[in-house]
Amino acid sequence: MDIQTPRLLVVDDEPEIRRLVSEILEDEGYEVTMAEDAGTARQLKAATNPDLILLDIWMPDTDGITLLKEWVAEDTLTCPVVMMSGHGSVESAVEATRLGAYDYLEKPLSMAKLLLIVERALEAGYLQHENAGLRQGAAIDIEPVGRSAAVARTKDQLKRLAQHDARVLFVGEAGTGKELYARFLHNNSAHRDGPFIDVAVGSISPENSAVEFFGKECGGKVYPGLLERAHKGTLFLGEIAGMDKETQLRLLSALESSSFLRVGGSEAVRVDVRVVASTRISLDEEVKSGRFRQDLYYLLNEVTIEIPPLRTHSEDVPALLGFYVDYFVNQDKLAFRRFSMAAQNFLRNYGWRGNVRELKNLVQRLMILGVGEDIELEEVKSALGTVMGDIGGTASSVPDFFNLPLKEARDHFEKAYLEYHFERTGGSVAKLSAAVGMERTHLYRKLHSLNIKL
């Protein structure tokens, strides 16, 4: 698997709670380690380097509050901590959040709340590590591919814009590569040596938006937010129309004053950040309907760059096919395959409802599931007509991932399933949510965990 399974450490002295929590989390695809006391928790934390710790307050040797203070004082806490408290210790759990815990769960545990908080805490942990480049990956040096007039014109505009600090709004259909063009702008600007931080703003819950954007101060420690982590670089706000009204107001205030206060802080923080954004839907309509603030729209939309859909520059399709074949050979170590001329000609005339993202997903499916060095026309047509090939066929024709362990196979299925419906719904998360029957907040987390770009 190219996506690492999140590692969770559950610390509780009650065997039944450890077993129940572990089973639920493992069923959701997480890797779970359990500790019955503080001593074991210390050892497992060092040995497993978890992405999240669920920590009970009352334990026989050292209580959870003391253990949390210990980790904070030692500066060895590299992941979020969620406290678990009994009825009489909620006040202590609230105190723990002041010391640096992400949140707390009250016993008896609500399984729905457990899963929601785990998802949000993991997302917060990933954001904390962005400045180290965890989300930049190999794409940072990739330029938009194509020699068509449309691609050349867009790249030329961005090279000229890169010499100025104007805020840019990238407009275009889902899957056109708006983030990639934003990276191209960053890489050609004076901010090129700084970080490029991208965030799907719709995945940030209103109650956590202040901490996520501005960071927080507690227990004498500073936890930087998105704006600080993007200092001297670029902050890319993906699909800005998904931002809730409360977060819009907070961001507007920070951008207008060029400063902000961390949550729990008293000193204004100033950063040097270029903020760029993207949208797949008309923000003019969102403003007219009252769903998006007009003042924030004008602030972010100093310059509009339209990213053309792939069907308008289909002459770039062969170059894109070759590029992504090489990409998956180098990045995922897949066996090399080449598209026949008939297949290339067919794909040049294909509608590409999901644009470049659909093309990339198609290449990946053909390289994973196909056999032989040549990709012929019939194989392409078959792949476009189904998500994962002939699952209902004979045992000899089942997809390769059927031979994987259940958790990995489920990730493969979910990724292909969601990508298929994402393309069919035109890249709309709202329509995708209705099509697959998943609540939007959970859906955003699932798309992020499967590395499906919005």
Domains recognised in the chain with CATH numbers:
7-128 (3.40.50.2300), 137-308 (3.40.50.300), 311-449 (1.10.8.60)
Give residue 447's region: left, alpha or beta (phi > 0; psi -120 to 50): alpha
Instruction: Give residue 106's pLDDT.
Output: 85
> What's the DSSP call for residue 394?
-
Q: What mean pLDDT is reported for the chain?
A: 84
Q: What is the average per-residue pLDDT within 299-323?
A: 95
Task: Decide which of 166 and 444 is more confident.
Answer: 166
Q: Using the 8-state DSSP alphabet, how is residue 304 labeled? A: E
For residue 6, whether the previous peptide bond is cis, meaning omega lies within 30 degrees of 0, is: no
The model's pLDDT over 184-232, given as tens digits with 9 standing for 90+, comes to 999 999 988 899 998 888 767 777 788 889 988 877 778 888 998 898 9
Q: What is the pLDDT of residue 346?
A: 94
Model confidence over 364-411: pLDDT tens digits? Answer: 989 988 888 999 999 999 888 744 333 333 333 445 566 666 777 777
Give the pLDDT of residue 138.
Answer: 40
Whether residue 3 is predicted with pLDDT greater than 50 in this model: the reply is no
End-to-end CA distance of the chain: 21
When pLDDT is cut at 50, 70 and 90, the band that residue 441 belongs to is: low
Of residues 106 and 412, more confidently modeled: 106
Residue 35 pLDDT level (bands cut at 50, 70, 90): very high
Cα distances (Å, whole numbers) of residue 129 to 79, 153, 158, 185? 9, 35, 28, 23
- Tell whether the model's pLDDT for residue 155 goes beyond 70: yes
Q: Which residue do the tokens 């380690």 mark?
A: 33
263 Cα distance to chain centroid? 23
- Beta-bridged to residue 103, according to DSSP, are 82
Kindly give, in sequence order, each residue whose CB lies less than 8 Å from that of residue 72, ignoring residues fewer than 6 positions away: 99, 100, 219, 221
Tell me which of 420 and 328 has the higher pLDDT.
328
Chain centroid to CA 137: how far? Answer: 12
- Identify the helix (H) or strand (E) that includes residue 269: strand 268-269
What is the number of alpha carbons within 13 Å of residue 183 lying toward its C-beta? 18
pLDDT at 71 over 90: no
**Which stretch of 26-35, 134-143, 238-247, 379-388 has the lowest confidence by average pLDDT?**
134-143
Say what percent of the chain tops pLDDT 90: 40
pLDDT digits (tens, 9 = 90+) for 86-121: 765 667 767 777 778 888 888 888 888 899 889 888
Strands of 125-265, DSSP E: 168-171, 196-200, 216-218, 221-223, 234-238, 260-261
Q: Decide which of 219 and 236 is more confident.
A: 236
Classify 49 as helix, strand or coil: coil
Q: How confident is the model at residue 169 (pLDDT cuts 50, 70, 90)?
A: very high
For the chain, how many residues are written?
A: 454
Mean pLDDT calculated for residue range 37-64: 88
* Beta carbons within 8 Å of 379's beta carbon, 6+ residues apart: 343, 366, 370
Q: Span 273-289, mean pLDDT?
A: 92
Q: What is the mean pLDDT of residues 411-418?
A: 81
What is the pLDDT, as a whole number, of residue 395? 37
Q: Please say whether the beta carbons of 84 and 105 come within 8 A.
A: yes
Instruction: Give every CB contact of residue 2 below 8 A, 6+ residues apart in sequence.
Output: 332, 451
Q: Which amino acid is at 92?
A: S
Those residues with Cβ within 8 angstroms of residue 224's Cβ, 6 or more apart along the chain or in another chain = 131, 215
Contacts of 324 (CB under 8 A, 6+ apart): 359, 360, 363, 364
- What is the structure's pLDDT at 154? 96
Q: Is the pLDDT score of 47 beyond 80?
A: yes
CA 47 to chain centre: 27
Residue 106 token pair: 């009250």
Q: What is the C-alpha to C-alpha distance for residues 95 and 121, in angstroms, rounded to an integer?
A: 18
Q: Which helix (H) or strand (E) holds 185?
A: helix 178-187
Joined tokens for residue 96: 């723990």
| % of the chain beyond a pLDDT of 70 | 87
16 membership: H or E segment, kind and range: helix 15-27
Q: How far apart, in whole angstroms, are the C-alpha atoms of residue 187 and residue 189?
A: 6
Sign of CA dihedral 311, 313, 318, 319: negative
* pLDDT value for 103: 83
Q: Report yes or no: 383 and 389 within 8 Å, Cβ to Cβ.
A: yes
Q: Give yes or no for residue 175 having a pLDDT over 60.
A: yes
Please give the pLDDT value at position 391: 37
- Per-residue pLDDT at 153: 95
Q: Is the pLDDT score of 131 beyond 80?
A: no
Return the DSSP state at 290: T
